[in-house]
Structure 1
């Protein structure tokens, strides 16, 4: 057992080292451009190749025939047929915003979020130094959900909210799979990401969309495509020009390839479902907990 664990650790570290050496922004831009190609023969072959490699249930999708998609990206960000993701009946259910796998969840202790054994990062780092936004989540709760390539890749509201502010944070584009999370400290605070803070009946609520290797394209319903291009430099913070109010379960954005979503809740705002556990798969719209009325 000890040798097996050691071998796994060595593989994780080697994979992380390889990523440090790769031109991740250039590779991600290349993949993005390939996924936009509309040539019928090329995009159909790419979609068919993907379907052979991953189990994708196209019977749920708006278009069940691969040839009906304009590009690989159109297929990857596919809409679902109406009713495929019913929302939990309890009006105070905290909805899963995506289809994915629970990576970690729990308390934010001393302003820090658990990433994997031996690794954590701060809320302030995640929110790109926005101390005011970070303060409201100190001693609150978090939930990290990983989207695999075969998952549905649109992101929805866990509860109704009004967008208070959002930011684009330039960064690296490391993989966000479990191996990299185990090997690379502060992974989610290093990668390119988009942070959004909403005012809700449960108080301030944060969602972070994390970009990753080959999958660094982020899009929201209020700003359109945010990346690419993959910029360097300081974070860009924005106040909404017009009110952005989104209902529970309403689409807020999408990954034009997949990655990770992190939920942030203020102290006392959320109780997670007692059956929730790392490694559990979730579907958009199902209850992962309950929220409490703020104040």
Structure 2
């Protein structure tokens, strides 16, 4: 048995939510010396470039979470042309959705319906569309932005486990992104329906959106919120953030030719928010 498989299997009995909430409490601690020690250790461990941040002094942030979700300077992530990458991280999978199923990792697929919380009607829009998955590691910028302009129509909270979402678990935990707690955000765009799924993970304290503030954790049932008044977010605008790292899965009803992406490599491709993923629009 490989170390990666053992790591994945050992996560099944762990009390995911309890551990994550305890970490969340620590991340909101306002005891100055403790918070500063955690932040400085994190910067050193993950080689965080504070020169990109609006506030470069790590001691100014009131909590670890405030540091972790720090804003960047306006010129730190210039927006390129075409369809944008929504976040810093690793582009692990991308391409066509085949008969309503997405690729999680080599040998593993999962359904759009499961990802969206068991909504076959919504899932039918994406049956033969396109998708891309971005994994945010602890060192990355943790705000999520819009790949193109969209109007929010519905937000769905889907309860679930909180497995880690690193390479080991994506390879060995079937249906990982459709098993973890997640926030599903449906948008109408000029290129057709688009959904942004913010996937929770081990020790992710919470997920926030710009329109609702902190959303997770919620109850143990699926909760849907419809938006009668239009909430339109421009291409490149912030739409949400993670308090500790996780994954974004975005899907498009129409097909996208990810022609701006280099050929796949083992371990995925490092990307940055604002980077071009596709030069053209989604097409029927």
In structure 1, stretches of 5+ residues that fail to align are: 1-6
Give SS of 2:99's match: coil
- From the superposition, tell whether residues 32 and 274 of structure 1 become closer, same or farther in structure 2 (CA, over 3 Å): closer
- Residue in 1 that maps onto 2:16: 24
- Residue in 1 that maps onto 2:34: 42
After the TM superposition, which parts of structure 1 deviate over 6 Å for at least 4 consecutive aligned residues? none
Contact 1:203-1:269 within 8 A present in 2 as well:
no
Give SS of 1:206's match: strand
Contact 1:100-1:283 within 8 A present in 2 as well:
yes
Instruction: Spell out, residue by residue over 1:153-175, the C-alpha distance to the aligned partner (whole angstroms, 9 max, x if none).
Output: 00000000101211000000000
- Return the match for 2:213 from 210, 217, 224: 224
- Residue in 1 that maps onto 2:120: 131
- From the superposition, tell whether residues 274 and 175 of structure 1 become closer, same or farther in structure 2 (CA, over 3 Å): closer
- Residue in 1 that maps onto 2:134: 145
- Residue in 2 that maps onto 1:76: 68
- Return the match for 2:249 from 262, 266, 288: 262
TM-score by length of 2: 0.95
Give SS of 1:227's match: coil
- From the superposition, tell whether residues 205 and 291 of structure 1 become closer, same or farther in structure 2 (CA, over 3 Å): farther
- Residue in 2 that maps onto 1:3: none
What's the offset of the Cα at 1:241? 4.5
Summarize the alignment of residues 121-200 of structure 1 with structure 2, pairs less than 5 Å apart: 121-200=110-189
- From the superposition, tell whether residues 216 and 186 of structure 1 become closer, same or farther in structure 2 (CA, over 3 Å): farther
**Aligned residues: CA RMSD:** 1.5
TM-score by length of 1: 0.92
- Return the match for 2:273 from 242, 260, 284: 284
Give SS of 1:37's match: coil
In structure 2, stretches of 5+ residues that fail to align are: none
- Residue in 2 that maps onto 1:4: none
- Return the match for 1:250 from 220, 237, 259: 237
- Return the match for 2:79 from 73, 87, 93: 87
What's the offset of the Cα at 1:39? 1.1
Give SS of 2:19's match: helix
- Residue in 1 that maps onto 2:109: 120
What's the offset of the Cα at 1:272? 4.0
What's the offset of the Cα at 1:141? 0.7
Give the number of equivalent residue pairs: 282
